[in-house]
Amino acid sequence: MTEAAAGLGRALRVGAPFAFAFAISELLRVVNAVAAPALAADLALDAVGLGLVTGAYFLGFAVAQLPCGVLMDRYGARPVVAVLLVIATLGTVAFALAPGLAPAAAARFVMGIGMAVTLMAGLQAFAQWLPAAWLPLANAGLLASGQVGSLIGTTPAERLVAAVGWREPLLGLALAIAAAAAFVALAVPARPRRAGNLASELSGLSLVLGSAAFWRIAPVCTTTTAAVLATPALWAGGWLRDVAGLDAAAAGLHLGAIAVGMGAGYVALGWLAVRLGRAGVALRHLVVVTTLAFMAIQAAIIVDGMVAPLVLWTAFGFLGTCGAYGYAMLTRVFGTALAGRALTAANLGVVVGAFAVQYGPGWILAQWPAEAGRHSVIAYQVAFGAVLAVQVLSLVWFLRGRRD
């Protein structure tokens, strides 16, 4: 067996269980968007209640990041994620059986905790078991797997909910999560427990959060990733409707193209990093070039996004995956001993950033009066421009740091 074949086999053994779990996590993240009418009717939810139930998942994500990062670095990704997925299974069953607002929100919070580190655990496991040169491509493949869940959470989920309701599919997802827990427990290689105590693990977290390198790399990673995740989840659809004048079917096609573009982007940019890395091109340079390209696409959408919107939004998804390079840089800087803490700390930034990208533009859009329920072009330009401005600042900050 060649070295490349052996490496591929190891990457699949380590990554496939986390990829399966991450795809389910992304499905659960987006599915409320299509299940919202059924949820609201069944649980007697108004807009505020629906937002609370949906947002509770992200709150669970946020509170779990740093504690789980400490646990993964101490015990390894396999036992931590296997236990968390059992918790997610119980939360999903509770959500499927919830009779009202409070139980539904609590169940979604538990689901968020249980699914919080499926991606970060996979990235940490890759850092543990694969050569550093393989990390950009392996990470990209794992990130691309999430787009499968995102696509299932659009039209297929909408049709299934319309046919049988929202509770039965969730019970089916609970079985899938339980299967993912078993997959992780049985397939992922075990890592010996590291010596030390909780105090030493927390000191490692302090080391990460006190590192200038972390604060140089994380912002450019988190702002671009938050933009590419949160914009299609909410504001891209509004833009396609209000600015481009598309109907629901055409807008759905464009949103699906973003997800396809992201899946392709993760794989293509990961492959590019491996190829150029062998040629001596530093990962830092790829971060700068691809981030600038992503910003250029956003600027084109802001200035005149009605010209070839399908091309622009597909490119938005493709180039928005450049934030994945930041995860690879963090694992290189902090090594396997601190990778879990560094990655989950960065992912906490993504969760907070995604909330900001969803809330901030909404506040900006509200400053202009809507006509017939539609917001003006200038309102979207200012809102999207604000999101872009934060990314520009993060890249400038990154460029001021030392070379890797």
Residue 185 scores a pLDDT above 90: yes
Going by pLDDT thresholds of 50, 70 and 90, the confidence category of residue 69 is confident
Residue 7 scores a pLDDT above 70: no
Rounded percentage of the chain residues whose pLDDT exceeds 90 = 32
| Mean per-residue pLDDT of the chain | 85
Most confident of 115-119, 151-155, 193-197: 115-119
Stretch 26-30: mean pLDDT, rounded?
Answer: 84
* Integer Cα distance of 234 and 228 in angstroms: 11
Would you call 306 helix, strand, or coil by DSSP? coil
Mean pLDDT check: name the lowest of 21-35, 191-205, 227-241, 294-308: 191-205
Going by pLDDT thresholds of 50, 70 and 90, the confidence category of residue 404 is very low
* Integer Cα distance of 149 and 39 in angstroms: 20
Residue 271 is predicted with a pLDDT of 86
Going by pLDDT thresholds of 50, 70 and 90, the confidence category of residue 3 is low
Q: Domains of the chain, with CATH numbers?
A: 14-182 (1.20.1250.20), 207-404 (1.20.1250.20)
Residue 352 is predicted with a pLDDT of 85
Rounded percentage of the chain residues whose pLDDT exceeds 70 = 92
Tell me the HSE value of 346 on the side-chain side, using a 13 A CA sphere: 35
How far is the first Cα of the chain from the last one, in angstroms, to the nearest whole number? 34
* Integer Cα distance of 97 and 185 in angstroms: 27
User: Phi/psi of residue 374, each to 5°?
Assistant: -115, 140
Residue 282 scores a pLDDT above 90: no
Most confident of 105-119, 250-264, 274-288: 105-119
Going by pLDDT thresholds of 50, 70 and 90, the confidence category of residue 198 is low
Strands (E), 202-315: none
Lookup result for tokens 């590192």: 211
Q: Write the DSSP symbol of residue 76.
A: -
* Integer Cα distance of 131 and 129 in angstroms: 7
- The larger pLDDT score, comparing residue 311 to residue 32, is at 311
CA–CA distances in Å: residue 285 to residues 166, 182, 277: 46, 40, 10
Tens of pLDDT, residue by residue over 126-160, are 888 888 777 777 888 888 888 888 888 877 887 88
92-117 burial, b if ≥16 CB within 10 A, otherwise e?
Answer: bbbbbebeebeebbbbbbbbbbbbbb
Mean pLDDT check: name the lowest of 12-16, 30-34, 137-141, 380-384: 30-34
Residue 208 is predicted with a pLDDT of 86
pTM of the predicted model as reported, rounded to 2 decimal places: 0.78
Going by pLDDT thresholds of 50, 70 and 90, the confidence category of residue 289 is very high
Lookup result for tokens 């010596």: 195
CA–CA distances in Å: residue 371 to residues 361, 364, 365, 376, 377: 17, 15, 12, 8, 11
Residue 302 scores a pLDDT above 90: yes
Going by pLDDT thresholds of 50, 70 and 90, the confidence category of residue 216 is very high
Residue 56 is predicted with a pLDDT of 83
* Integer Cα distance of 72 and 343 in angstroms: 11
Tens of pLDDT, residue by residue over 369-400, are 878 778 889 989 999 999 999 999 999 999 98
User: Hey, which residues does 374 pair with through a beta bridge?
Assistant: 371
CA–CA distances in Å: residue 293 to residues 34, 151, 205: 32, 25, 33
Residue 194 scores a pLDDT above 70: no
Tens of pLDDT, residue by residue over 317-356, are 999 999 888 888 888 888 877 877 888 888 888 888 887 8
Q: Where are the alpha helices (DSSP H) in 76-197?
A: 77-96, 101-115, 118-129, 135-152, 155-164, 167-187
Tens of pLDDT, residue by residue over 85-100, are 999 999 999 999 999 9
